Amino acid sequence: MYLISSVYKKYVSCIVLCLMILGGFTGCIENDIPYPRIPLYIKDLQVRGASAAPYMDNENHIVTVTLADSVNPRKVYVKSIDVTESAQSTLKAGQILDLTNPVEVKLSLYQEYVWTVKAEQHIDRRFSIRGQVGEPSFNSDQRIASVNLGSSFSLANIELTELKLGPEGSTINMSESLPMLEWKRYGTYAQTKVMVNYRDFIVMEEWTLYVFLLENNISTLRADAFTEVAYLYGAGVEGANNGFEYRQSGSQEWITVDPSLIQKQGEKFSTRLSGLLPETVYECRACTDKEKGNVVNFTTGKKLSLTDGTLDNWHKVGNVWNPWADTSSSFWDTGNKGASTLGESNTIPTNETSTGSGQAAKLESKFVGIGSIGKFAAGNLFVGEFKRVDGTNGVLDFGRPFSERPTRLKGKYKYTSKPVNYFDKQLFPHLANVPDTCAIYIALGDWDTPVEIRTKASERKLFDPKDPKIIAYAELYNGKTWNDYQAFTLELNYRDTQRKPKYLIIVASASRYGDYFTGGAGSTLRIDNLEFEWD
């Protein structure tokens, strides 16, 4: 009996030990299995009352939605959300968000990624009186609005011409028209209070209005200096002979701006000065026949050459052509690294230039691969960096740091257009056999980082000309075949002369819809001698 018991105990102990070892072994196997690391993205977010498309910052995992002024930011309805395939999101369609502060959203699939959703909302506020000088000032946090009154008018007779402090359709003092206001006067200024009401968004919000009496009737608001041009802004009494004077700092003589160059809009007026010297200090002031406004100083910017704009410098690594010298750092790049995974580079240097010397860039659209295995690739060139290959797709960074403000981009190009024979059957069936189109565009913007571009359909993120971060933009599209080089000029349209750029983007493609793998095999764009102009 003892022997059997002893043997039994040893047998059980052995089994337990084996199970412990096996358990530990299998535990190690389980813990050592690496999960795939899949970046997770919010690809689209639609909310009720949005006034623009959402802006996706994939680099910092931020989605910015722009709300119409009539939307209550505390009650934003989510119509739909589109995320990376198979990912789970803590934000669902049908939810109500309070976007008075940023909202955290978690995406999960093997790992967890935290995104932030925030809102921007601009309420178009207006406040004007007869004899006003300059633009009104609004402090929405303290709920204060103020305007300046010209010296030829009196605080005893303030005539209100416009007042809007809330969303479209809001009321002031429960009146849907201009309210009658009682002003308290304190020497050089007058004050009154009003109540703003709008549904459940703004409920009895009290604002204080001020009118300040100026010493004169003219004011120099600001000067936005570029390199060889500057934009001057002033304010005065509507209907007066308002204009500007300017001079180089240190000069005794003021130069009067030709009245025909003054743009007037009510009490506000502006002009565009040209022929200025780069990196020079100037003075300007608004003026009338009888009065001179305050003096504003401004300094013009630097006149820079476009880095490697001649497109003469190239070097080859393996089967990939790179548009910069092997002894220097890159400014331009191409999608060659992506195309070369299946074939030869489709953006290469060429001796067929606009001047007969040096080199130019030859961008050719073609199918790259073997037999039916591969895909269509558009010849392309851009300011920025090819970051990495994602399968047969590319991840790119558009843009290089740049803070000056040129007025236009000039260059030479020649294009051979072929019928579109590769296309996305869902998006572009109408382009089948239509002549292909080349694209050249330039953008200046105040992005904090380069603009990430993704061509993978499930994570597609492309350049948007309507991006609110864009300060200036110009584009050229052409579907005609040119046998000789043609000169082109892209006149930059500055959407705001006050904002200063942080990044420059220039893109050229032999196929306009190459990001969608759509175009004509054989379409070829040659581009040469790109340069800035500053006047």
- pLDDT (0 to 100) of residue 13: 47
Amino acid 89: pLDDT: 96
Query: What pTM did the predictor assign?
Result: 0.77
Fold of 42-121: Immunoglobulin-like (2.60.40)
Please say if the pLDDT value at position 254 is more than 70.
Answer: yes
Buried b or exposed e, range 58-80, using 16+ CB within 10 angstroms:
beebebbbbbebbbbbeebebee
- Calculate mean pLDDT across residues 87-99: 96
Among 312, 300, 370, 317, which residue's Cα sits nearest to residue 342?
Answer: 370
DSSP-assigned states of every residue in 64-110: EEEE-TTS-TTSEEEEEEEESTT-EES--TT-EE-TTS-EEEEEEES
Cβ neighbours, 10 Å, residue 448 = 11
Q: Can you say whether residue 160 is alpha, beta or left, with left for phi > 0 and alpha for psi between -120 and 50 degrees?
A: beta
Nearest Cα neighbor of 214 from 139, 284, 267 is: 267
- Where is average pLDDT lowest: 5-19, 229-243, 373-387? 5-19
pLDDT at 301 (0 to 100): 97
Cα separation, 377 vs 511, in Å, equals 9
Say if residue 476 is exposed, middle or buried (CB neighbours under 10 Å; 0-12, 13-18, 19+): middle
pLDDT beyond 90 at 47: yes
C-alpha–C-alpha distance, residues 72 and 349, integer Å:
55
Q: Specify whether the CB–CB gap between 180 and 160 falls below 8 A.
A: no
Position 510 pLDDT exceeds 90: yes
Confidence (pLDDT) at 371? 61
Cβ neighbours, 10 Å, residue 382: 25
The CATH number of 220-299, from 3.30.420.10, 3.90.76.10, 3.40.50.1000, 2.60.40.10, is 2.60.40.10
Evaluate if residue 473 carries a pLDDT over 50: yes
- Over residues 227-252, the pLDDT tens digits come to 999 999 999 888 889 999 999 999 99
In this chain, the answer to whether the domains covering 42-121 and 315-533 adopt an identical fold is no
What residue spans define the domains of the chain? 42-121, 126-213, 220-299, 315-533
CATH class of 315-533: mainly beta
